[in-house]
A and B are shown apart, each in its own frame.
Chain A
Amino acid sequence: MDQIGSNKPEKKDRRDFLKFLLSLGLTGFGVATIYPVISFLKPPKQAEVEVNSVVAGKLDDIKTGESKIIRFGNKPVIIIHTEDDKFRALSATCTHLDCTVQYKKDEKIIWCACHNGKYDLYGKNISGPPPRPLDKFKVVIKNDELIVSKEA
Chain B
Amino acid sequence: MKNQIKKFYDWVDSRVQLGDLVAFMSKKYVPVHSRSIWYYFGGVSLFFFIIQVVTGILLLFYYKGSSDLAYESIRFIMSKVQFGWLIRSMHSWSANLFILSVFIHMFSVYFEKSYRKPREMTWISGMFMFVLALAFGFSGYLLPWNELAYFATKVGTDIVGAVPVVGEPLKYFLRGGDDVTGATLSRFFGFHVALFPGIFTFLLMLHLLLVQRQGMSEPMHLKIIAKAEKKTMPFFPNFMLRDLLLWLIVLNVLAILAVFFPAELGLKADPLASAPAGIQPEWYFLFMFQTLKFLPAHVWFIEGEVLGILLFGLAGLLWLLVPVWDRKSSRGQQNRWINYIGIFSVLFIIILTIIGWVLK
Which A residues form the contact surface with B (CB < 8 A)?
41-43, 46, 69-71, 74, 76, 92, 94, 97-102, 112-116, 129-131
The verdict on A131 contacting B275 (CB below 8 Å), with A41-B173, A43-B176, A97-B154 known, is no
Q: Mark B177-194, 1 if CB is under 8 A from A, else 0.
A: 101000100000000000
Q: Is the CB of A69 within 8 A of B293?
A: no
Instruction: Return A112 CB to nearest CB of chain B, in Å.
Output: 6
B278 pairs with A129, CB closer than 8 A: no
Known: A113-B277, A114-B151, A114-B155. A76 touches B271 (CB 8 A): yes
Q: Which residues of A contact B276 (CB under 8 A)?
A: 113
CB distance from A4 to the nearest CB of B (A): 40
The 10 A-B residue pairs whose C-beta atoms are closest, nearest first, are: A102-B274, A99-B275, A98-B158, A113-B275, A97-B158, A43-B176, A97-B155, A98-B154, A113-B277, A69-B272
Rounded to whole angstroms, the CA-CA distance of A113 and B148 in the bound complex is 11
Q: Is B206 an interface residue (CB 8 A)?
A: no
For the complex formed, measure the closest distance between the CB of B282 and the CB atoms of chain A, giving whole angstroms. Answer: 14
Contact of B274 among A42, A43, A69 (CB under 8 A): A69
If over half of A's interface residues share one DSSP class (helix, strand or loop), that class is named, otherwise mixed; here it is loop
Contacts known (A43-B176, A114-B155); A101 close to B272, Cβ less than 8 A: no
Whether, in the assembled complex, B273 has its beta carbon less than 8 Å from a beta carbon of chain A, the answer is yes
Please tell me which one of the listed residues A41, A43, A102, A131 contacts residue B297 in the complex, with CB atoms under 8 A apart. Answer: A131
Residue of B155, B179, B278, B304 with most chain A CB atoms under a 10 A cut-off: B155
Residues of B in contact with A, size category: 20 to 34
Q: Report Cα–Cα, A114/B304, bound state, in Å.
A: 17
Whether, in the assembled complex, B159 has its beta carbon less than 8 Å from a beta carbon of chain A, the answer is: yes
Instruction: Please tell me which one of the listed residues B154, B173, B183, B274 contacts residue A113 in the complex, with CB atoms under 8 A apart.
Output: B274
Q: Would you call A101 and B176 a contact (CB within 8 A)?
A: no
Q: How far is the CB of A135 from chain B (nearest CB, A)?
A: 15
Give residues 277-325 of B contacting A (CB, 8 Å).
277-279, 293, 297-298, 303-305
**Are the C-beta atoms of B151 and A43 separated by less than 8 Å?**
no
Q: How far is the CA of A97 from the CA of B154 in the complex (A)?
A: 7
Given A69-B274, A114-B275, A97:B183 Cβ within 8 A: no
Instruction: With CB as the reference atom, state the residue of chain A lying closest to B153.
Output: A98
**Measured CA separation A102–B177 after assembly (Å):** 25
Q: B151-174 CB contact bits vs A (8 Å, 1 = yes)?
A: 100110111000000000000110
- Give A68 Cβ to nearest chain B Cβ, in Å: 9
Contacts of B175 in A (CB 8 A): 43
Q: Complex formed: what's the CA distance from A42 to B230 in Å?
A: 58
**Contacting residues, chain A, for B273 (C-beta < 8 A):** 69, 100
Q: How many angstroms from the CA of A97 to the CA of B297 in the assembled complex?
A: 12
Q: A114-B151, A129-B293 are in contact. Are A92 and B274 (CB under 8 A)?
A: yes
CA distance in complex: A97, B156 (Å): 8
Contact A102 B179 (CB under 8 A): no
The 8 Å CB contact of A101, one of B179, B275, B297, B298, is B275
- In the complex, A130 Cα to B158 Cα: how many Å? 13
| Other-chain contact of B159, A97, A101, A102, A131 (Cβ < 8 Å) | A97
Interface pair A99/B155, CB less than 8 Å apart: yes
**Interchain CB contact (< 8 A) of B275 among A41, A46, A71, A102:** A102
**Which residues does chain A contribute within 8 Å of B173, judged by CB atoms?**
41-43
Shortest Cβ distance from A84 into chain B, in angstroms?
23
**Complex: how many Å from CA A149 to CA B307?**
37
Contact B272 A43 (CB under 8 A): no
Please name all residues of chain A whose beta carbon is closer than 8 Å to the beta carbon of B183 when the two chains form the complex: 43
Query: Of B272, B277, B278, which is in contact with the most chain A CB atoms at under 10 Å from its CB?
Result: B272
Q: Which of chain B's residues have a CB closer than 8 A to the CB of A101?
A: 274-275
A46 contacts across to B, CB distance below 8 A:
177
